[in-house]
Structure 1
Amino acid sequence: MRVIEIYRTAELTDLIVTDQALPSPAPHQVLIKVAAAGVNRPDLMQRKGLYPPPTGASPVLGLEVAGTIAELGSQVKHLNIGDSVCALLTGGGYAEYCLASACCCLPIPQGLSFIQASALPETFFTVWSNLFDLAKLQAGETLLVHGGTSGIGTTALQLGKAFGAQVIVTAGSDDKCQFCRELRADLAINYRQQDFVEAVMHQTDGKGVNVVLDIIGGDYLPRNLKCLAIDGRLQQIAIQNGGKSEINLASVLMKRLTIAGTTLRPRNDDFKAKIAQQLFAKVWPLLESGQIKPIIDSVFPLARAAQAHERMESSQHIGKIILEI
């Protein structure tokens, strides 16, 4: 089968197409014939040697796919060969075939294509577990989402609105802010032109937001804390601006703030299976009704994976970047 391999020398890191043997599923796994695979920032980090796969995971890039089941592990009873699924992976998605834990596979929502479905697992698992399981976002609360036009951002914006929250987003251009408003953002802040702390506090009449979902980190941390209301919760899920910052802990104490950080990839199958069940019950009906939708920026053939990474690194994209196999 064709796969994308990281080719690295002292002078060059590239993504190239190579051939590998077809993998065989363990008892709890399935083999998926991949139709499309999502591209995510952890893939870029792994390509650069900054985010090694967990122990036992495929070294091939790719954390989410959509396709058809080609082979079942001996213990898999709830799926069938030929089923159309999307799946969350620990690696291996940039390939014609990949292995997935059966409990991390979900049926493709009715009406969605393979390309659309491949955009779901990584962002929807991440956003659901952080906003609703951990931060306990409630209807009537206010949510601040950084990177509003990223895959995470467009997902968090839509889910927040669907479940009754007011949603404020930040984005890096007027066009991106307009796109967020079209997705029903209550406020979209161009962070290049406006101080997002001042804009948030003005929008909330000085009260602040209940939850912040942040992919930036670095110097955003103390600013996020200023944006939080009493009993506010910060969910840190990435650190694009770096992992170091300085904060005034007095504000954390006085406002009873909660700061939590999570990563999804190394979590075990039991944890991910619970998220999958919640998504199927509460979010899949919204996808099938069209109330929410995956936002697709661009689609590249598998052999152009390097160009797909360049598109993501440019930060010009809105929504998900997909590889079509």
Structure 2
Amino acid sequence: MRALQVTRNGAPSEALEVVEVALPEPGPGQVRVRVSAGSLNWNDIDRCRGRVTSIPMKPPFTLGMDVCGVVDAAGAGGEKWLGRRVVAITQMAQGGLAEYALAPLASVFDAPEGLDDAEAASMLLPFHTTHLALFRRGGLAPGETLLVHSGASGLGSAAIQLGVAKGARVLATAGGAEKTKLCTELGAELAIDHTQGDFATAVLDHTRDVGAHVVCDLAGGDFVA
């Protein structure tokens, strides 16, 4: 089968090649997905360049952390998924940018019917990650104020939408008019261009000095008080 592999560390334009690799066989607790769409995450780019990531890899390896497709083979325990259209986080969060990919059962879900394959593949990790951050870690509740830094990013755009769906007041920061416009289109009641002034003052002014109950910080650095 064909796969998009990192053959050496470097810029994607220099390091990526489409190669022929063996068809993977699912083991116990795994399924194999016939991939119709795969997402590209920042971690993929960092891996390609050889930078530190959550799961470091040495070339050669196939990029692709999450996919959408149909399960065409299953190991022990995964038989119920055969023939179903799914979204999945791939085994060791790699291998998705190929014609077939393996995924552990704990990371396999029915694909949302209202999304096409590309939309379904691109929503899984951002929404999964931010859902854990906002609700399991942050305990965000309806009526509270959520501040999202880097609101126009993949994780940030997911955080805005999840916060709005929860019934929170959502504020966001982003760099530039185009990005702040996207934040408001996604549901933020206030989008602050952090390149044009102090976001902390804007947040306090907007909330009458109450501030935010939960901050989803995807920027770090000077954004951390």
TM-score normalised by L of structure 2: 0.91
Q: Aligned Cα RMSD in Å?
A: 2.2
Aligned to 1:32: 33
Q: Percent identity?
A: 38
Any idea what SS the aligned residue of 2:88 has? Answer: strand
Aligned to 2:126: 123
Offset of 1:8 from its aligned partner?
2.3
Aligned to 1:17: 18
Residue 4 (1) aligns with residue 19 (2): no
> Does the 8 Å contact 1:7/1:13 carry over to 2?
no
Q: Which amino acid aligns with 1:26?
A: G
| 99 and 219 in structure 1: CA distance in 2 versus 1, 3 angstrom threshold | same
Residue 135 (1) aligns with residue 138 (2): yes
Q: Which amino acid aligns with 2:80?
A: H
Aligned to 1:312: none
Aligned to 1:234: none
Any idea what SS the aligned residue of 1:209 has? Answer: coil
Q: Which amino acid aligns with 1:204?
A: T
Any idea what SS the aligned residue of 2:208 has? Answer: coil
Q: State the number of aligned residues.
A: 221
| 186 and 10 in structure 1: CA distance in 2 versus 1, 3 angstrom threshold | closer
Offset of 1:5 from its aligned partner?
1.3
CA distance in 2, matches of 1:23, 1:193: 51
Q: Which amino acid aligns with 2:6?
A: I
Aligned to 2:50: 49
| 66 and 9 in structure 1: CA distance in 2 versus 1, 3 angstrom threshold | closer
CA distance in 2, matches of 1:171, 1:55: 29
Among residues 73, 78, 81, which one is paired with 1:71 in the alignment?
Answer: 73
CA distance in 2, matches of 1:128, 1:10: 32
Any idea what SS the aligned residue of 1:8 has? Answer: coil
CA distance in 1, matches of 2:15, 2:131: 33
Deviations 1:242-273 (CA, angstroms, capped at 9, x unpaired)? xxxxxxxxxxxxxxxxxxxxxxxxxxxxxxxx
Residue 163 (1) aligns with residue 166 (2): yes
| 134 and 79 in structure 1: CA distance in 2 versus 1, 3 angstrom threshold | same
| 53 and 210 in structure 1: CA distance in 2 versus 1, 3 angstrom threshold | closer
User: What are structure 1's unaligned runs of at least 5 residues?
Assistant: 223-325
CA distance in 2, matches of 1:10, 1:133: 36
Aligned to 1:176: 179
Aligned to 2:96: 93
> Does the 8 Å contact 2:9/2:50 carry over to 1?
no
Offset of 1:56 from its aligned partner?
9.8
Q: Which amino acid aligns with 1:210?
A: H
> Does the 8 Å contact 2:69/2:86 carry over to 1?
yes
> Does the 8 Å contact 1:53/1:59 carry over to 2?
no
Higher relative contact order (CA 8 A, sep 6+): 1
Offset of 1:52 from its aligned partner?
5.3
Offset of 1:43 from its aligned partner?
0.9
> Does the 8 Å contact 2:43/2:53 carry over to 1?
no
Q: Which amino acid aligns with 2:47?
A: Q
TM-score normalised by L of structure 1: 0.64
> Does the 8 Å contact 1:146/1:171 carry over to 2?
yes
CA distance in 2, matches of 1:161, 1:54: 31
Any idea what SS the aligned residue of 2:213 has? Answer: strand
| 13 and 218 in structure 1: CA distance in 2 versus 1, 3 angstrom threshold | farther
Aligned to 1:256: none
Q: Which amino acid aligns with 2:110?
A: P
